[in-house]
Structure 1
Amino acid sequence: MARVGILGGTFNPPHIGHLVCAASAREQLGLDHVVLMPVFVPPHKTVTDDPGPQERLELCRLAVADDPGLRVSALEVERGGPSYTVETLRALQDARPEDERWFIVGGDMAQSLPTWREPEGVLALATLAVAEREGITRQDVLDRVAGLAGAAERVRFFDVPRMDLSSSLLRRRLAEGRTVRHLVPAAVERRIDERGFYRRNPYPGG
């Protein structure tokens, strides 16, 4: 049996904040490893400036290559279509029923859990690992999910260093021709640079 964290997202592109969140969850929750799982299509938002799911998957693989505690899953990319957490967790349960799953989210996403597809099914399949962030308290989250069966036992919290960093900020910097050095892993920066991703005027052949 393995204690496995799952960090889903668009990862457009993956950045240091994602890795810090994953590493913090692994350390504080005693997880064997954390899996980054890029979506094919997120169900609740539009992906802008998207190099495509296969490229985002490759960027994630490059991002975690130097950390044996982090892995990448192509499950949602290969399945195609909108990505719903409960369906992903069921697929993981079917593949490895012996594993203990922890689904990693930020406080804002945790508060929206009651609006997800089959939220009680999510809690039956995984513990919700909530990254604490400034502006949203533990009680805020617990109050919002209190009506869901299993919430009291299946919601846990961990600390993440504050980082004002987002994929949308990085896309904006790249579109403006600015550097993202030290904001993304070096291998991710090289791939973005070589392919001209997120640039308003991509490099020739990019």
Structure 2
Amino acid sequence: MVNKVANVIEPEVLSELIGALPKRKIGILGGTFNPPHLGHLIIADQVKDQLGLEEILFMPSAEPPHKKEKKTIDASHRSVMLTESVKDNGSFSVEKAELKRGGKSYTYDTIVELKEKNPDVEYYFIIGADMVQDLKNWYKIDELVNMVQFVAVNRPYYSLETPYPVIGVDVPNIDISSTLIRQKVKDGCSIRYLVPPEVENYIESKGLYKNEENSDGIPE
């Protein structure tokens, strides 16, 4: 009787085979999402459609390093609102890597972590045109641009010119911001049609942003 021995693929060969496979293309939209609004959803949908991405990850930050004296509501509130915002879209999901890690959220550290967990994914990191000129100040930007593809969405009066590789995506200019929403809540004004209904109901039920302490002037 002859025993048949299965072919064994050496780890180096397996790694090369995996590396040759087409990578999944996934976008990342980061921010404080304080609160999330329809502008965030429109940007994500437009980028996904125009670049043919498989999925968009909404990634709430714990403590963004580029914001000075950063204050925001508790991460648990932002996480719930974001989850409620994307639940009806199968191509949207929430990535909580930065919330779990805590502290200052450097994009470089996050991408290293995500790529180690998902070597088969090519990530597209979405930023606003207003952030393009500041890329030179990002932590380990020279290494970062070799790990992730930056995608910049247009904003009025901002240029996309930069020495770094950035894909420009044209999206509708929707003049909605988290700052505007927080101010409207504080002033007792309606935020209907500015945020998903679930977010509007959550803000009301929890009494968020109604006092001076919660209305902190954070743009996103």
Q: TM-score, normalised by structure 1?
A: 0.88
Q: Distance in 1 between matches of 2:97 and 2:132?
A: 22
1:101 aligns with 2:85: no
Runs of 4 or more, structure 1, over 3 Å off, are none
1:135 equivalent to 2:157? Answer yes
1:6 equivalent in structure 2: 28
Work out whether 1:111 is the aligned partner of 2:133: yes
Deviations 1:95-133 (A, max 9, x none): 101101000001111211000000112111110001012
Alignment partner of 1:122 out of 140, 144, 159: 144
Q: How many residues align?
A: 189
* Cα distance, 1:51 vs structure 2: 2.5
Quote the Cα distance in structure 1 between the aligned partners of 2:92 and 2:118: 18
Asked whether the 8 Å contact 1:54–1:77 carries over to 2, the reply is no
Counterpart CA distance in 1 for 2:159 and 2:64 is 26
| 8 Å CA contact 1:176, 1:200 repeated in 2 | no
Equivalent-residue separation in structure 2 for 1:109 and 1:57 (angstroms) = 23
In the aligned structure 2, how far is the partner of 1:59 from the partner of 1:193? 12
C-alpha contact (below 8 Å) 1:102/1:128 kept by paired residues: yes
AA at the equivalent of 2:101: R
Instruction: Please provide the CA RMSD for this pair.
Output: 1.3
The answer to whether the 8 A contact 1:36-1:72 is kept is yes
**Which of 153, 156, 159 does residue 167 from structure 2 map onto?**
156
The code of the aligned residue for 1:111 comes to: Q
Provide the C-alpha distance between the structure 1 equivalents of 2:131 and 2:141, rounded to a whole number of angstroms.
12
Match of 2:53 in 1: 31
**Residue in structure 2 matched with residue 20 of structure 1 by the alignment:** 42
- Which residue of the partner structure matches residue 217 of structure 2? none
In the aligned structure 2, how far is the partner of 1:68 from the partner of 1:111?
33
- Determine what percentage of the aligned residue pairs are the same residue: 36
The answer on 1:196 being equivalent to 2:184 is: no
Deviation at 1:41, TM superposition (A): 1.0
Q: Secondary structure at the match of 2:150?
A: strand
TM-score (ref. length: structure 2):
0.83
Aligned counterpart, 1:204: none
Q: Is 1:179–2:190 an aligned residue pair?
A: yes
Q: Which amino acid aligns with 1:115?
A: N
Which one of 47, 50, 53 corresponds to residue 75 of structure 2? 53
Say which structure is richer in helix: 1
Separation of aligned partners in 1, 2:33 and 2:210: 17
Taking the aligned partners of 1:156 and 1:172, their CA distance within structure 2 comes to 33
Aligned-pair distance for 1:27? 0.5
Which sections of structure 2, spanning at least 5 residues, go unmatched?
Answer: 1-22, 213-220
1:180 Cα offset (Å): 0.5
1:8-59 Cα distance to aligned partner (Å, 9 max, x none): 00000000000001111100111001000000111122444x3201211111
